[in-house]
Amino acid sequence: MRKAIVLFALLALGYCTQNPLFLNETYTTGLINIGKDSDIFYWHFESRRNATADPLVIWLTGGPGCSSELALFLENGPFTVNDNQTLDSNPYSWNNQANLVFVDQPVGTGFSKAANDELVRNEDEVAEDFYAFLLGFLQQNPQYIGRPLFLTGESYAGHYIPAIGAELAKQKNPKINLQGLAIGNGWVTPKLQNPAYGTYAYENKLISGLQYYAFTKPVLATCEALISINAPLSLTNTVCGLGYQSIVGFGQTPKFNVYDIRKQCLGSLCYNMTNLDNFLARNDVKSALGVSGRTWQECSNTVYAALSHDEIVNLADKVAYVLESGIKVLVYSGDQDFQCNYLGGIAWTDSMKWSHQTEFQNAKYSDYKLNGQAAGKFKKAENLEFLIVYQAGHQVPMDQPQFALYMINSFISS
């Protein structure tokens, strides 16, 4: 065990409430103590359909160190924030047919707290802390003990979710009924996803053929080789970063929105988060959430730095372990995303070694239809499905909310 003591000092049982501030959605919030002086914040919404029977869906935003409230308000949660600091209801929220939980993890992310000596350094520690969190969450919300559970998320959650999923599968705790993982535009196998930057950029005319063949492709091939031989991290980061920056530019602001190549990059995360920043800074909001005195941040540089050695680690073996455990996995990618693009997604899912690898590699793509129209294409073998979503960037639920809701409802009900 990484920590000598894991405390489940629960601040309160999770009694559901409603508040006009949050448009009378039925919700609970909580802080689960992790270790001696750290905790993990969650915001839970009951299903709009049937809270007593619908499954439990947990969402994790990536980063590493970025808050899940980003997705809650900008993607698949019950609200969006207006310029005047009021909220609008999201008709495509993922709690339409599921009990939905947004989690600020690892410790130190979003509204969560972290002691310096309890920051996570690798995915084993991420998984250990999340297992402790989940036990605490179930103690606060015992109605979900044994309920079908689905872990979902995007971006660097492509590291979190495989590690956590494998840990839950290994634990075989009867209180935790893990049924599936859904990874959106995930960062899973850096060795293969780094070279995909060059291919994607060339195919989408973000760089010229001359630049691709003369510089970007060979540099990213060297990046792949360095990761393969476990070269010193400083050297690997320098070379991989050079290949990446040769595409997006060497300035502080990328030449294009790396999360949606159709748009310009605005702000540190390429989107204007001012409304959300201001809303979550309000004292009345923090009081209603039970986090008075805390300061919310979009992404934590401290958490990011602590996981600096984790970024190039391959997590595909953890996905394979989950698949071999009989748990289904959905991997989906918006086709307009550069940062964790679908070509890299194809590469890592095809290369993953598991008992149905050949069958998956040979599977043919079929249209994924919504209302009779092809909104994407997918292929599937046994309990693994790979889906490319048309006209969507890194945040599929933000760009294609109706399709994303249909996708997740189909996944959790099949």
Structural domains for the chain: 20-191+276-413 (3.40.50.1820)
Residue 166 predicted with pLDDT over 80: yes
pLDDT at 15: 67
Residue 157 identity: A
Tokens 């945040």 belong to residue: 395
Confirm if 92 and 319 have CB atoms less than 8 A apart: no
Per-residue b or e along 376-395, where b marks 16 or more CB atoms closer than 10 Å to that residue's CB: bbbbbbebbbbbbbbebbbb
Residue 410 predicted with pLDDT over 90: yes
pLDDT at 357: 98
Round to whole Å and give the CA distance between 176 and 120: 23
Round to whole Å and give the CA distance between 295 and 12: 21
Lowest-pLDDT range, 3-7, 86-90, 151-155, 317-321? 3-7
Beta strands in 163-202 (DSSP E): 177-184
pLDDT in tens, 55-69: 999 999 999 999 999
3-class DSSP state for residue 299? strand
pLDDT in tens, 214-263: 999 999 999 999 999 999 999 999 999 999 999 999 887 899 999 999 99
Residue 143 DSSP symbol: G
Closest CA to 227 of 195, 185, 197: 195
What band does 7 get if pLDDT is binned at 50, 70 and 90? very low
Report the percent of the chain where pLDDT is more than 70: 96
What band does 49 get if pLDDT is binned at 50, 70 and 90? very high
Looking at the annotation, which residues are catalytic?
155, 337, 394
3-class DSSP state for residue 354? coil
Strand order in the sheet with 373-381: 27-34, 38-45, 99-104, 56-60, 148-154, 177-184, 328-334, 384-389, 373-381, 366-370
Residue 359 predicted with pLDDT over 70: yes
pLDDT at 392: 98
pLDDT at 14: 54
Question: What are the tokens at 118?
Answer: 């309890």
Closest CA to 260 of 74, 399, 80, 403: 399
pLDDT at 269: 80
pLDDT in tens, 81-133: 999 999 999 999 999 999 999 999 999 999 999 998 999 999 999 999 999 99
pLDDT at 18: 86
Residue 355 predicted with pLDDT over 60: yes
Q: What number of other Cβ atoms are within 10 A of residue 299's Cβ? A: 18
pLDDT at 12: 45
What band does 333 get if pLDDT is binned at 50, 70 and 90? very high
Round to whole Å and give the CA distance between 254 and 276: 23
Report the percent of the chain where pLDDT is more than 90: 90
Determine the straight-line distance between the first and last CA of the chain, rounded to whole angstroms: 36
Mean pLDDT for 70-90 is: 96
Closest CA to 107 of 24, 6, 23, 207: 6
